[in-house]
Structure 1
Amino acid sequence: MRGAGCTINDLWDRDIDAKVERTRSRPLVAGEIAPFDALVFLSGQLGVGLLVLLQLNWYSILLGASSLGLVIIYPLMKRITYWPQLMLGATFNWGALLGWSATQGSVEWSACLPLYVAGVCWTIVYDTIYAHQDKVDDLIIGIKSTALRFGDNTKLWLIGFTAAMLGNLIHSLNIHNPKDCATKFISNHQVGFLLFLGIVLGTLYKKHSEERTKPSTAGSGSSSTSGQLSATVTSARNIAV
């Protein structure tokens, strides 16, 4: 469904994308793919999604089907409100509810709602950062986003939403349940490993991008990059431990 959402978004936004520097080379805008072909592809995506959904219980089928409305209307929100990222968060994180109902038969709101709200807050954080790429073009063509709403106070808003995200995750901790405490403690090793992996891969990607965009330099530059990567790996390893 994530892929179907991207297809729907590109269909809705193709006129807007043509006016934004970053998106004007997208296939629909550039004419590489016709809207009809995109609709055929979308039908295939929705068909596969439906086949998967029909394997679940009826509660989950109805819950999953109800998310399609969010997927369809999300792209329109940037034309109406400065908070399209809120709608995106509500759409993207539907899986927090669906995953539980698929395995347990229905949604246990006391367990799922904190995770869902945390996911919404997280989405607002990263998609606001994403929206800052296009804020100049968005301002010119009249498109709204949290990047424009928050303006120069964006970092303060992001701190607030990050705190809300962590707060909702911590809310799920049962400090009177030894097993739950042990599970949460052990999960931090997994978080540390993911942070370690992200830092290392990010550094490697940055090195690769710099090599592609800049002329190659003498061996000292390569040595400096290797030293930077080594220091990053060491620092990341300390996080993961």
Structure 2
Amino acid sequence: MSSTDRSAPHVADAARGNWVDHHAPAALRPYLRLARVDRPIGTWLLLLPCWWSTALAAIAAGSPFPDPALLALFAIGAFAMRGAGCTWNDILDRDIDGRVARTRNRPVASGAVSVPAAFAFLALQCLIGLAVLLALPRFAIVTGIASLGVVAVYPLMKRVTSFPQVVLGIAFSWGALMGWASVFRAIEDPALLLFAGCVAWVFAYDTIYAHQDKEDDAVVGVRSTALFFGRNSALVVGLCYALTVVLFGFALRAAGAGPLAVAGLAGFALQLAWQVRALDIDDPARCLVVFKSNRDAGLILFAGLALDTLVPALL
């Protein structure tokens, strides 16, 4: 791989002082930024449905803890495939990114990584993801392969629909099927309910995220739920979050979850309620803070699910 001599400057939504900007070798920085290593929130949001599904399957199976090997594989896979997805997105969006304030410093748009080098980096990340996928049971492999079409077309959706968040929701929620498929070699009602709730969750949090770019998006001519719902966005986010909690509740019931899982869901719901209350769609910095807090909400839920398997096993 080769890049130009220019190393892209700090990207707008990366945390100041992140290790990529200050400690990574200069030659690697553009590629690490291309994979969003300096912005790990996307990896967390892709990973959490996988972990929830694995933990929910452990509850249904009566296991003493979610399978650590599966949790580790999903972590590696989420890291690789989130990076691959971002690389593919940046290749397709390089002209649009160059006209949007928040994205103009992305490596491909800025010229820090050439398009051929970006394709080579994409292939490397996909190979890592493939290696993870092949370590799963056959049914899970087929389930994972079925998601590739959705992942491939997502970056194009904002050109043709005001609801690209629906497609992103399907892509980022696929992990809700993968954990269950890996444990039971099937997709059953708890996994489907978890998947549906995840789609609503992603739709809501990405609507929040999209409010950072709404003015530039309107000028450039790309579409989003932030532009479509406008001043009603907070109401829509709240309704989607409520739907998420209801569907997750049905998923927990279908899997035979106990009180600790319900407590985790309650903590998750309270964090989502805080987001709706704290959201200011006219403050991009506030939108980013609220969006990023979904990692904390997701970890609260995972902790409840994991404890629901562990504590009964210890008693």
- TM-score for the superposition, normalised by structure 1: 0.74
Matches within 5 A, 1:155-234: 155-174=234-253, 180-185=257-262, 187=264
- Cα separation, partners in 2 of 1:119 and 1:51, compared to 1, 3 Å: same
CA shift, 1:191, in A, is: 5.3
Q: Distance in 2 between matches of 1:180 and 1:48?
A: 34
**SS of the residue 2:113 aligns to:** coil
1:37-72 deviation per Cα after TM superposition (whole angstroms, max 9, x unaligned):
111111111111111111122221111112111111
Matches within 5 A, 1:60-71: 60-71=140-151
1:138-160 deviation per Cα after TM superposition (whole angstroms, max 9, x unaligned):
11111000001101111111111
Contact 2:245/2:265 (8 A) holds in 1:
no
Identity %: 44
Which amino acid in structure 2 is aligned with residue 182 of structure 1? P
Match of 1:128 among 189, 192, 207: 207
- Cα separation, partners in 2 of 1:111 and 1:20, compared to 1, 3 Å: same
1:133-186 deviation per Cα after TM superposition (whole angstroms, max 9, x unaligned):
1111111111000001101111111111111111101112439x9x73334245
2:93 pairs with 1:13: yes
Structure holding more helix per residue = 1
- TM-score for the superposition, normalised by structure 2: 0.57
Q: Which of the two has higher C-alpha Rg?
A: 1
Which amino acid in structure 2 is aligned with residue 184 of structure 1? A
- Cα separation, partners in 2 of 1:188 and 1:146, compared to 1, 3 Å: closer
Q: Which has the higher contact order (CA 8 A, sep 6+)?
A: 2
Match of 2:192 among 113, 120, 125: 113
Q: What is aligned with 1:86?
A: 166
Contact 2:165/2:225 (8 A) holds in 1:
yes
Q: Distance in 1 between matches of 2:109 and 2:265?
A: 43
**SS of the residue 2:261 aligns to:** helix
Q: Distance in 2 between matches of 1:81 and 1:166?
A: 27
Runs of 4+ in 1 over 3 A off after TM superposition: 185-192
Q: What is aligned with 2:132?
A: 52
